[in-house]
Structure 1
């Protein structure tokens, strides 16, 4: 599938999903307020949650609803409460049309986002997974039919959606 086809499918999947899980990795350490605003537009009108491994706290100063963000690597006043809220939200995704979008996560902490997102995709029959990563977009064989690896910088990918 060419890049236009991937973007078209991505937009359609986002539009049609019941729930949307976004993971932000190390590529987002270079993101600015405009990039987060573009992501916020993607999230609008969806039942979503954002998980980030970034420790700079930039997302907390964005327009994205902080009650829909968990950032365990950043010192949040309500960090544990947000993590618990995320886990409750995640439990409610089973048997729902869930789109999982991992944006720029590397292998620094694969047990935090990469592997859990792969497992959720495998377990949930209605899940579809997008991994957008400039260097490491590969997905495991057991979910290749339920996923789309995209070899592109994830910040640029979100910018180009609008």
Structure 2
């Protein structure tokens, strides 16, 4: 059965076990969801610093659905991050006339140089959404993930909800199912439940993932 951590004593024990698994793993996969987008500035900055510490010396990749771009302002390696839901610091043509993506401020007047339409943030909220902004990093992630099969893979699913389950939540479950050497922590204040055939290699922690990671670092 998947283990659900209900009290502080059990949580402290799980922090210790997580630390041991982090040290022993060959690969580290991290998924960041809505809890990281909702967190306050100072709080999430501290949590990103904690993640940077956790990933030090590790072969890792991070998938984030957060669109706020704060992860790219952290010390985490941008080459090991993919943001398939977009990034508010990237801009696209609001009419989708081109696949071109611009950094914020790159086009001074905020007008598409191809058709004259206003530029808009290159996120899933755009209609149409130009996906070229993240596809290169996504392909690198898929290639990296394929190389983790049958290796000791630690998965941290942090604060992921059901708005885009096909990006992190369901694929992570599939990865755990096929990689018998993997172990996953699902940390989420509300959506911590785990079902199906992966329960023996998963830990469910009903806590806010941002606070949990900050606490993990403070206990180091």
TM-score normalised by L of structure 2: 0.71
1:111 counterpart = 2:166: yes
Deviation of residue 129 (structure 1)? Answer: 0.7
| Paired positions, count | 162
- Give per-residue Cα distances to partners, 1:88-130, cap 9 Å, x unaligned: 0000000110001000000101111100000100000100010
Match of 1:92 in 2: 147
Deviation of residue 51 (structure 1)? Answer: 0.3
CA RMSD of aligned residues (A): 1.2
Aligned-partner SS, 1:131: strand
Deviates more, 1:27-36 or 1:73-82: 73-82
Of 175, 178, 182, which aligns to 1:127? Answer: 182
Paired with 1:132 and 1:53, the residues of 2 have a C-alpha distance of 15
Match of 1:136 in 2: 191
Match of 2:58 in 1: 46
Match of 1:5 in 2: 13
Structure 2 gaps of 5+ residues are: 91-100, 102-132
Of the two, which has the highest radius of gyration? 2
Q: Which has the higher helix share?
A: 1
Paired with 1:100 and 1:32, the residues of 2 have a C-alpha distance of 20
CA contact (8 A) 2:44 2:210 kept: no
Aligned-partner SS, 2:204: strand
CA contact (8 A) 2:157 2:185 kept: yes
Structure 1 gaps of 5+ residues are: none
Aligned-partner SS, 1:38: helix
